[in-house]
Chain A
Amino acid sequence: MRPLTEEETKTMFEKLSKYIGENIKLLVDRPDGSYCFRLHNDRVYYMSEKILKLATNISRDKLISVGTCFGKFTKTNKFRLHITALDFLAPYAKFKVWVKPGAEQSYLYGNHVLKSGLGRITENTNQYQGVVVYSMADVPLGFGVAAKTTQECRRVDPMSIVVFHQADIGEFIRSEDTLT
């Protein structure tokens, strides 16, 4: 477990900023205590200082997970967001997409969101903007990438993809073994 290098921090922040913009600041500089990002097994964990200290007691090879996993670095040093970060990112999300109750399940099975399943969308969403997907009951369901701008979304036919699926809370069950 080590702190992130500058490069890594940058890539991660770039990724996170797609979803929460400058609100990353609120994650880094939290008023309720000091929190930090740590890299372990190519995964980035977000944890409080307290847990960080506690985690020092565990040897590296035995440590599976600590804090909240935000995502992992791929072999090509790209950052991939995990669904576990949803709890931290959803409250700060800038661009949101609400999925109709009928399309919820489809999304939670890992499918993209179609126009027909799109209930609501934040205005001025750009193409390829990172979005947080909500149910109509305002329960965050996962991450996605807007395939179309808001304006385009109005026009396209109902079977076209509006939001690309990235991660959803169905992964907690589907990929239980790999999520840490």
Chain B
Amino acid sequence: MRRLYVGGLSHTVTQKDLKDRFGKFGAVEDVELRTRKDEEGVPYKTFGYINIDISDADLKKCLTVLNKSKWKGGTLQIEAAKDSFLDRLAQERQDAATQRLLQPAADDKSHKLLDSLDKAGVKNFTMKAAVPGTEVPGHEDWVVSKFGRVLPILQLRGQKGGKSRTLKYDPSKYCHNIRRLDQKTSDEATPITQLTWEVQGGDDDISKKRRGEFPHYKPPKPKKSRTDVVNSHKAAGGASLKPSVTPADQSESVQLTNRSQNGVGLRPAQERRTRFADSDSEEEIRRLVTAQQTSHDALRQGQEEEGGTLEVVGLDYMTKFGQKGGKEEEDYDSADTDEILASRNPPPQLTPTPPSKEKPAVNDTVRNRKTRTEEMKTGKQKVEEETDVTFRKVLSTQDKEDARKPKPSRKIVVETSYAESGSDEDKDHDSADSESSDSDSSDSDYDAMFSNVTHLEISMADLQKLAEVAQQSETTDDDITAAKNQSDPPEPRSAKKGITPEEILASIMGDNSSDDDGPRKKKRKKKCSKKSQLPAFQGTKVMKEMEKQEDEDGFCKDLNSKETKFKHKVTEDQENQGKTEERASEKMKTVASPQALKTVPSVKTTEHEEDSSSATDEDDQPVSVSTPLSSTSSEEDETEDIVHPPALHRDDEEQRVVTEHPLPRAALAPKEEEERQRKANVRRLAAVQQRQKEAEEHKRLIQGALANLDAPAAGAGKHIVFGSDDDDDEEDDEKEQLTVSEPTPLTKTLFQGSQSEDEETDEAAAKNTKKEKLLKSSGRLLFDGSEDEEDGDEDDGDMFDIKPQFEGRAGQKLMELQSRFGTDERFRMDSRFLEEDGDKDETSETKPSRAEDDEALEEERKKNLSILQSVLGSSEQTCSSKTTSKAKKFRDVSALHYDPSREEHAAFETKTEDVKKESKSARRKKREEAQKLPEVSKEIYYDVSGDLKDVFGQTTKDVAEEEEKINWDQVDEEEPKQEETTTLSSVVSDRPTEEEEESSGFKFSFFGDDAEMEITETAAEYKVESIKVSWQQDPRFHDSSSEEEDEDDADEQEEDEEQSSATCSATTSATNAESKQETTSKVDFFFFFHANDSRLTDGPRLFRRVSELEEQREQWEERRSSLRLEYRKKHKDAKRRLVSSLRS
């Protein structure tokens, strides 16, 4: 069955034709004819498909015969055709049917797989308790994925360009982020109790911790705690504290630590705290970094504010090479601290703020670091130090609180806040505990504490008292140590604050004598100061020693356990004040003390209720002793507003000691308590007396020490350098040393005097003394060393001095020679080896040439400078030659220090005496001058010419005459009108009346000769110009032109005027003469006018008719006719002209 395509048929071909034609080769089953027609219906292409049953041989035959054969007008084209689509469709359907038949076989295969998987322990493609990634046993391509799912490993065909042909996809490797969406089917989780192991109970610390029972106090790391403190402080401060305060606080706290460290660093005996120094330095660094950042930020902000990042600096902007960063930051810091200090100036009752600690701190850190290497011993010490740090921070914050908050009435607060304060103490105590037990506590303690901070102060005072008494009653040894410990602070303070120790002592003494009910604040302050007065240094050492011993013995543990026991006891009584449960047990202790206070107010006959109570407390519960102690330490600091770090340290240690001490006693039966109380009382009284004594002694000692201090200071002032940190430190050191050395004998005596019950104390004392000696010696050594160094320096200076034989040019040569030989004694160059002559010659030879050169250079320079001046256009003085220039060496003004020993620096001194002397002499002079009257020269220069009229009159006359002449000379050929005028003037001037008038010297004629004079003068003046400047109208000409206009009248008028003026002048002259006579004879009565002043008579004439009215009328009529004529004539002329102009 084949399907053939037959093309190239004519459209006349029918199916039958095709059938017939192909029937020869096989059985034709079906013929399909198709004709393609164009748009008009004309067929252009006809082809057909034939289904034919044909064998291959027949097909070949058919193709050869029929293909490309001509049939009915067309060439046949026969090809094998594709199956008809219907056939194909049928085929497909058939295929589908067959496939359906095959399917069940595949299912069987998968079932097989599942079965095999089942065998391997896989159910529903999940395998329980299988770690992801494990292969299913027996199936290499199946892997367990997350949630126990079993997945196949896929072999993916790699990309064409890829390296490997197939990629292996292991689903177990990518299953870790798969989440189970369907939670229902999740396995029930094993409960935690079953899951984790259980810690077996043990009694030691670690096991307790494992069980989650943490001890109550953890001394946090310095950095952490610092931030905590700051934060908590913020919280306490509330809204009143601005965020900007926080950095200040930080720095402050740091500062405080610095100070403490300071004190430590200065004492060689207490170098244990080196670790602490380290932490401090770290803190400092951190602070610097933060400060820098903040400053940078600020700067950046500022920059951004003013026009982007562009910064515009002034002309005087100084560039700093190489010294950016550190120093500035330090400056900033110091400024900051200053501000802080200023801001936290305490209320006036309080002692002044502590001085800034910047300078010594640095030194100390260095020193401490040195010592640290030696002193790194036990972790316990570290912990201790840390606690110290925290302590100090707390205290500092408290200080701040104090300074800020107004003092409420004390008593109320005392009562209300007692319990709370107790809690605070507890914390202190905790710290002590933690020290001994080497345990940690949470920061929550701090937070809680700060909530109570406001009340703390007062309660602390009371507690301090308690502590005092307790200490005293406890053991003499303890007492002494405590006293010593507390005595430490005033020394540094006195040095720093400038408060004389005498004052302090006096106040203390007064306080001692005074009753307790006085003004509390004062007392407290004094008390602390008093305490602090007592000699120091031994106590800490003792304690340290003891600590060590105890530590070694594992004594601490015992103590700890006992304490805990005690705590448990007391917890029942406890009233909870919103404190955390951790601290509850400790609180109890402190709470107990106030209770005791209330319940047993009249137990003791001592001054203070509190004291007594504390005493009892102490006896009852040895642990409580430590609490007041700690409180005292903290309280001190608070009230004084100064933290005395060394004291603190010692206090801390003290606490420990105390806590340790009572323990053996706690074991004693309670019966003995009463007895002991009594004993304690007695002891306390004794101790008070002793203390007074001590105070006195101490006073004396300090006085002595100070006296000593002054002397060496004066002696040591060989080199004066102001503002260098090291020096200050040294001074401090000195002071410290002195103070250290002084109290030793005292303490010894004290120790001797005290009846020490415990052997420990004796031992401690012994050790103390030993240590002291050591200390002393070390201090001595230090000192000696420094002195030696100084000496050495001097020696060195001598060594480096230029010996006389090596001076000068020849000396240089000699020096070179010497250097060649080294320090060989045999070849020592003396002054004998100096070669003198040649040298001199050389110099003499070189001199003139050099002089020439110099001159040339000098000239050049001058020239240059002159050019420079011309360039700059400014006249600036040159700093002339070398003589002056030598003096003008560059000097850094900022680094300039006043050194009184140097002669140049005399310029900086203000010379008061000289000024005074000068002023005296000056004053004297001034006085004299003041007394002298200003000299007036007797020569008087006034030369008044006797006859003014000669001077003026003549001159005018002369001038007139001269001018006339000039006129005549020059204006000969000028206009005749001028002649007229000139002649007129000459005529006028020549008149006898005029002459007379002039002779009289008085002319009141304004029209007469004056006018003429003017005319002539002006003529004379302008004549010169008129020649040159033709265009300029001659003023005289102008004058005449006015006359010219009415020429006819002018003559008459002039004549008239002349007449009138003549008459006028005549009269005036007559009157003048008269008046003159009168004036001479008569006394003037008026200022401006005489009695018969001629002016009064003459004046009116100027504006009055001179001639008779009729005459004038006649004249006027005469003139009138003529004027009229003239006017008419002019009018006619004008008319005519106008007409003519119009016509033209």
Contact = CB atoms under 8 A, between A and B. Distances in A.
A9 B861 contact: no
Interface stretch (B315-323, B538-546, B697-705, B939-947): B315-323
A34 B853 CA distance: 11
Interface string A83-116: 0000000000011101010000000000000010
B857 interface: yes
A40 to B, nearest CB: 15
Interface residues of B, number: 37
A29 B857 contact: no
A40 B886 CA distance: 30
Contact of B876 (A3, A25, A150, A153): A25
B861 A120 contact: no
A150 B313 CA distance: 10
Interface string A1-20: 00100100110011001000
Interface string B866-883: 011011101010110010
A37 interface: yes
B854 interface: yes
Nearest to A8: B867
A25 B317 contact: no
Contacts of A95: 315
A114 to B, nearest CB: 12
Given A31-B885, A49-B853, A25 B865 contact: yes
A43 B882 CA distance: 28
A34 B880 CA distance: 11
B166 interface: no
Contacts of A29: 861, 865, 878-879
Nearest to A91: B319
A139 interface: yes
Contacts of A98: 311
A137 interface: yes
Given A10-B867, A25-B865, A137 B313 contact: no
A30 B882 CA distance: 9
Contacts of A137: 324
Contact of B867 (A6, A96, A115, A121): A6
Nearest to B318: A138
B871 A13 contact: yes
A28 B880 CA distance: 11
A6 B311 contact: no
Name which of A31, A98, A154 has the most chain B CB atoms within 10 A of its CB. A31
The interface residues of chain A, by DSSP majority, are classed as mixed
Contact of B860 (A10, A13, A32, A36): A36
A96 B318 CA distance: 11
B872 A31 contact: no
A13 B321 contact: no
B819 interface: no
Contact of A3 (B320, B858, B860): B860
Contact of B871 (A10, A36, A100, A121): A10
B321 A17 contact: no
A170 interface: no
A115 B310 contact: yes
Q: Which of A6, A25, A100, A134 has the most CB of B within 10 A?
A: A25
B879 A31 contact: yes
B847 to A, nearest CB: 14
A35 to B, nearest CB: 9
A83 to B, nearest CB: 18
A34 B861 CA distance: 8
A121 B311 contact: yes
A28 B889 contact: no
Contacts of B872: 17, 21-22, 24
Interface residue SS majority, chain B: mixed
Nearest to B317: A122
A13 B868 contact: yes
Contacts of B317: 96, 122
B851 interface: no
A106 to B, nearest CB: 16
B762 to A, nearest CB: 66
Interface string B1011-1052: 000000000000000000000000000000000000000000
A134 B860 CA distance: 33
Contacts of A115: 310
B878 A32 contact: no
Contacts of A141: none
Contact of B307 (A22, A37, A53, A154): A154
B64 interface: no
A22 B865 CA distance: 11
Chain A interface size range: 35 or more
A161 interface: no
A153 B310 contact: yes
B309 A119 contact: yes
Interface in B300-334: 307, 309-315, 317, 319-321, 324
B921 interface: no
A59 interface: no
Given A24-B868, A138-B320, A139-B321, A120 B312 contact: yes
A123 B315 contact: yes
Contacts of A49: 853, 857
A120 B312 CA distance: 5
A175 interface: no
Contact of B310 (A21, A30, A31, A118): A118
B719 interface: no
B295 interface: no
Given A25-B868, A36-B861, A138 B319 contact: yes
Nearest to A155: B307
Contacts of B310: 115, 118-121, 153-154
Contacts of A9: 863-864, 867
Contacts of B868: 13, 17, 22, 24-25, 28
Contacts of B320: 138
A120 B889 contact: no
Given A14-B871, A138-B319, A138-B320, A34 B854 contact: yes
Contacts of A138: 319-321, 324
A9 B886 CA distance: 26
Contacts of A22: 868, 872, 874, 876
A122 B879 contact: no
B888 interface: yes
B886 to A, nearest CB: 8
A122 B313 CA distance: 5
Contacts of A17: 868, 871-872
Nearest to B307: A154
B444 to A, nearest CB: 47
A124 interface: yes
Among B309, B317, B319, B857, chain A packs the most CB atoms within 10 A around the CB of B319
B497 to A, nearest CB: 41
Given A10-B870, A25-B865, A95-B315, 19 more contacts: A9-B863, A13-B867, A17-B871, A22-B872, A25-B878, A29-B879, A31-B886, A34-B857, A36-B860, A36-B861, A36-B864, A49-B857, A96-B313, A100-B309, A122-B315, A123-B313, A153-B310, A154-B310, A154-B312
Which are the 9 A-B pairs with shortest beta-carbon distances? A120-B311, A31-B885, A138-B319, A13-B871, A31-B888, A123-B312, A154-B307, A28-B864, A9-B867
8 contacts: A25-B876, A28-B861, A30-B885, A32-B890, A49-B853, A96-B317, A96-B319, A120-B310
Interface of A: 3, 6, 9-10, 13-14, 17, 21-22, 24-25, 28-32, 34, 36-37, 49, 53, 94-96, 98, 100, 115, 118-124, 134, 137-139, 150, 153-154
